Structure 1
Amino acid sequence: MIGDLMDYEDPIASGQLNQSRLRFLGSNPENICYCDEVCIAFGDCCSDYTFVCPPSDCYVTNWSEWSACVLDDTAQKCGVGTRTRTREVRREANYGGAPCPDLVEQLSCFHECPPREEDVTTVALLLDYKYNDIREKLSRDNIYWDLPEVASKVEKLSYYCVEYEIGWVNRNCIDKKITSKLHEGNKICAECQPEA
C-alpha cells in the first residue's frame, strides 16, 4: 500500500484537476470527500454528491443582433468589412458539465461604394486600339485640356479596363479585323481613357 501511495500522482499538482477539488477538505482526514467530475472514478465523492454536485452545463444568453459593418480600411467609407455578434455567459460549467460555446461570431460584409459621377456610363463608343496614339496627340494639342478646372479633373482620372458585352454593332463597321470580334453577344475588354 505505501508503495502504491508513493507512486500516486496528485491530480491537482499534475494539472489534471482544478482547485475546486480542495473545496471539501476538512480538518479530519476521514471526512475528505470530493464534488468534481472524477470523484466517481476515484470513489471519493461526498455522500450527497448526486443532489449537491450534479454536472452543470455552461449556460449562455441568446446571440445579440449583428453589428453594423466595420470596414477593414477605416479611411474608406465603403468596401470589405466585418460584422460581429456576441453572447454572454450566464452560468459557468461546473462539476464536469459541458463547457461554454464560442461567445463571438464574425461575418464578412461589403458596403457598396457609391458610384462617382465620372464613373457612370451606360454606352461606350469603342474604337480600335490603333487610334490610341492619334487621340493622345490630339489631346495634347487641344487647348481645352489646358484649362485649370479641366486639368485638375484629368489629374484625378486614370486609365482602367471594363468588360463590355456587345449589344449593337454599327453596320458601317466593315473592317474584317474588327468585325470578327465585334459582334452582338460577344464580350470584350476595353481600356477606358480619361481623354476619350
Structure 2
Amino acid sequence: MCFSINGQYWPATEILKRVLNHKNCTKNYWRKDHSYGECYCDQAFDLACPAVSCVVSEWSMWSGCLEPGKPTMHTRQRQVIQEARNGGEPCPSLHQTAGCAEYHDQHGPCLQSLVPALIITGGYGSARKKREILDNITGYCVEFKLMSLMADCQRSFSLHTRWMRYLKEGHQVCVECQPPALAQGQRYCSGDGENMGQDSMSLQWQAVGNSRCRRLWRRVRRGDSCSCPTVHSFLFI
C-alpha cells in the first residue's frame, strides 16, 4: 500500500520509518528553546551530525637529551583537546623527535664524544708531511665497530672517495693515529675517544672528501698496530 505526500507516493513501510525517525529526532536532538542541538533532523527525518575535526593543544617544550654527552634524541608532545567525530579531520601526530646533543653531563664537559673523528683511507699514510714532533711519541691503532652510516657513503664514485663504498654497518675497522695527526699538544688523535678513558663508547666519525658520509661507531680497543684488511684500514686526520 502506498500513500501520497506532496504529490509523491511512498510505501507504507517508508512512511512508518519516517514517523519513527521524526519522533526520535524531535525527542533527542531538539532543545527546549526550539533550536537545534549539535545533530539535527534533516528533511527525511534522518539524523544528521556535522563533521567535527580533531583539536590538539600547542606543542610542549622540548625534553632534555635522552643521553648526555653523545648524539641522541629529544622529544616533544601535544594533547588531544577534542577527538574527531562524524568524519571530521583526524588528529595529527602527537609526538615529535629531533636530533640532540648536550655538551655536559653530571661529570662535566663531554664535548669530545660530540666531535667527529675525521678519517681517510690508509693509503695516504706514506704521503703525509711530518710535523715537528718529539722522537718519543709513537702512533697507535684504534679498532671500531661501525654502528651506522649514511647512504651517501655508497654514492662516492670519484677516484679519491670510492674507498668509502667499502664501509658497511656492523663491520670492524682499524684507524691509525699517526704522530702527524695528534691533537695539538696532546698524545691522542682528535675524536678517537682516547682521552675519555674507556672503550665501548659510541662516537661520531666522518669521511674526508664527503661530508655526508658519516655517522656513529663504537670504540672496541686500542692496540700498538693495526691488523684489519686494507679496505677497512683508515687514518685519523
Q: State whether TM-score is above 0.5.
A: no
Under TM normalisation by the shorter chain, which class is it?
0.3 to 0.5
Q: What TM-score results when the alignment is normalised by the length of structure 1? A: 0.35
- Which entry has the higher C-alpha Rg, 1 or 2? 1
Q: What TM-score results when the alignment is normalised by the length of structure 2? A: 0.30
Answer 1 or 2: higher relative contact order, Cα 8 Å, separation at least 6: 2
* Structure with the largest fraction of strand: 2
* Structure with the largest fraction of helix: 1
